[in-house]
């Protein structure tokens, strides 16, 4: 897949702390939704990332508000992000509904995962 086909989310840190983007993406790619089998970046669940007073603040959503793996995924996201950036990380869980347009790799829809 080429970059034009990706819907990569740009966070505030792309401009303010570009050195944190790649390590953060690498660690977050390790967090996989066990029901869907795709990582949180592919699904577009990490909506905002910014640094305020040496604390990394992340705004995330889940694919469904009743995700049985939600609490474990949230904690894993926080741990992996903290490993990547070497700073304290706080998460804010958004309540807006997730939909397929938020995915970084819409080509996943071609795999027959969703009807």
Is the residue at 75 inside a domain?
Answer: yes
Is the residue at 114 inside a domain?
Answer: no
Dihedral of CA atoms 13, 14, 15, 19 in degrees, nearest 10, equals 80
Global pTM value: 0.86
Is the residue at 54 inside a domain?
Answer: yes
Range of the domain at 62: 3-107
What are the pLDDT digits (tens) for 98-107?
Answer: 988 899 876 6
Is the residue at 112 inside a domain?
Answer: no
Q: Which residues pair with 48 in a beta bridge?
A: 59
What are the pLDDT digits (tens) for 51-100?
Answer: 999 999 999 999 998 888 999 999 999 999 999 999 999 999 999 999 88
What are the pLDDT digits (tens) for 5-19?
Answer: 578 889 999 999 999
CATH code of residue 17: 3.30.300.130
Is the residue at 115 inside a domain?
Answer: no
For residues 73 and 70, give the distance between their C-alpha atoms in angstroms, rounded to a whole number: 5
Is the residue at 77 inside a domain?
Answer: yes
Specify whether the CB–CB gap between 51 and 16 falls below 8 A: yes
Number of domains in the chain: 1
pLDDT value at position 1? 41
């Amino acid at each position: 897949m080429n970059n034009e086909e990706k819907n990569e989310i740009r966070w505030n840190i792309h401009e303010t702390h570009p050195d944190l983007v790649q390590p953060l993406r690498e660690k977050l790619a390790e967090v996989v939704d066990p029901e869907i089998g795709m990582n949180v970046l592919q699904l577009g669940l990490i909506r905002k990332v910014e640094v305020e007073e040496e604390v990394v603040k992340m705004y995330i959503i889940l694919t469904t508000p009743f995700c049985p793996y939600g609490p474990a995924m949230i904690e894993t996201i926080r741990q992996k992000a903290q490993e990547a950036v070497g700073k304290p990380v706080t998460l804010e869980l958004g309540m807006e509904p997730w939909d397929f347009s938020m995915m970084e790799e819409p080509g996943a829809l071609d795999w027959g995962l969703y009807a």
